[in-house]
Amino acid sequence: MSTEIGASQKETSRAPTGHQQSDAPAGKARLERIHKLSRPFWASFIIGAVSLLVFAAFLVNALDRQAISSSEQVMGAILDERTDRLSELTLEYAYWDESIDRLVTQFDEDWIDTTFIEYIYSDLGIIGVHVLDGENADRLHIFEDYRADRSSMERYGPDAGRLINRARRTEENEAPIPATGFLGSASDLYLASAIRMTTYDTDKITSTDHVMMFVRKLDEAALTYLSDKFQLPGLQITTEDPSYFQAHWPIRTEDGTILASFVWNPVLQGQRLLPPLALGLIIVYAGMMIAARVFLKQATHMVSALDAAKKRTERAKELLAHQANTDALTNLGNRWSFEQTLDALSAKADGTKEFALVCFDLDRFKTINDTLGHETGDEVLKYVGETLSSLTYPQDKVFRLGGDEFVIVFGLTDRERVLAVAKEAIAILSQRVTLNGHSCHFGASAGIAYSTEPVNLLRRADTALYASKKKGRGQVTVYIPDSTDTSAQRLPATETL
């Protein structure tokens, strides 16, 4: 009995030990199963986080590249606008009879000082004015505000000769075409426009063998101005390659070689979003739902930033287009806009519909500039523009062609109204007026032209205006062609106010 009991006790005492040995593998198996079940979750979690990181990096990079591309488009539009403005200015002075008389036929030093040193350099920012004869020898060399002895070719390098030779390619006795380009070096860079000097009288266009070149310097002050006005942070000229996150625009010489590049640091929305995105990724590791909401919010912000960048580019293009077609002083249409208007009218001309144009020229404007200063002269030009605009209908257009020459193109040709507008304009402009604190008395003369062919309007109006000037101040002359109208010399009767 005692033996059985002892055996039973031994079995009982060994039972717990056997149960513990059987539970240890089971617990380890459960841990392994839990670990295996967690592997897909952690794999999905890591894949999702990595995918989110890659997607965020892609969006940030796309946003930054879009910002860089938009900024480069703005820079291209700015350079086109600056080039066009310099070309128009060079064309105004090279395609002008008085320039031929004062610089080619004779050499009028007083006129040169007044026109170029006192006005072009001080008011228009032209640092260099050069006139070269048929042998490319300097006839006139003005650099900054004095006449220089150093040769133009020597100052600007070999590209100046290539630019001038391109300007000479204008067809003989045809309207000249400006040639523009960059001159100098990366450390001493210029934007230049050259054009063959040409006359345009009432009979014909006559080319000379002289070339006029206007030069603007792209120095630190000019770069700072462009950087501040058009949001191009850190704009500089360099020969080094730009970094991945920098915008750039190549500067090519006349033969196509890249001389240097404009490089700047555009505002990159993607880099601004990096800290929030990094915080979002940290939140993702803490909870997928919170991270997803943060990411969606930042993605929406990215889309808004892309749309805002696109709108800024469109606004910049509209602004540059407006500046290219508008006279900066009077806010009227400029010569380029006037030529576009004549082209549009020519397209509509059918040989029966008559068009009308009135050309105005101030009588004593030079006296105003010489005695009262250019600021008062500018106020006079603004006053003239406002006066002419106040006399026109919405379908009429007023332009300032340059200097003190203004033009009205009438939408509907009513000869009585055209003559009445010209008379009233002369009457108003002949009255004394106080501008810029000065009592100004200048007056104006006008020439009127009618034609079924818009291309003839300016030539005829100029002829009539010349007759008004010849007969005295405050005159209105209407051009009446003869039966052939080949010489454009015959002038009509003049009506005096």
What's the rounded Cα separation, in Å, for the pair 100 and 200?
10
Helix (H/G/I), strand (E/B), else coil: 1? coil
Q: What is the DSSP string of 326-340?
A: B-TTT-SB-HHHHHH
Distance from the first to the final alpha carbon of the chain = 155
- For the question of residue 404 being annotated catalytic, the response is yes
Q: Which of 466, 381, 431 is nearest to 123 (CA)?
A: 381
417: left (phi over 0), alpha (psi -120 to 50) or beta: alpha
Other beta carbons within 10 angstroms of residue 300's beta carbon come to 10
* Active-site choice (149, 404, 462, 482): 404
**Contact status, residue 458 vs residue 345, Cβ threshold 8 Å:** no
Other Cβ atoms less than 10 A from the Cβ of 64: the count is 20
CA atoms within 13 A on the CB side of 244: 4
Rg of the chain taking only CA atoms, in angstroms: 38
**111 three-class SS:** helix
C-alpha span between 148 and 82 (Å, rounded): 25
Q: At what angle do helices 374-390 and 415-429 cross, to 10 degrees?
A: 150
Q: In what order do the strands lie in the sheet with 475-478?
A: 397-402, 405-410, 355-362, 444-451, 475-478, 494-496
How far apart CA 181 and CA 200 sit, in angstroms, is: 26
Inter-CA distances, 281 with 51, 68, 293, 300, 482, Å: 11, 26, 11, 16, 85
CA–CA gap between residue 171 and residue 168 (Å, rounded): 8
Characterize the bridge pairing of strands 444-451 and 475-478. parallel
Determine phi and psi for 405, rounding to 5 degrees.
-105, 125
426: phi then psi, degrees, rounded to nearest 5? -65, -40
* Residue 115 DSSP one-character state: I
- Helix, strand, coil percentages for the chain (3-state, nearest 5): 55, 20, 25
Active site residues: 404
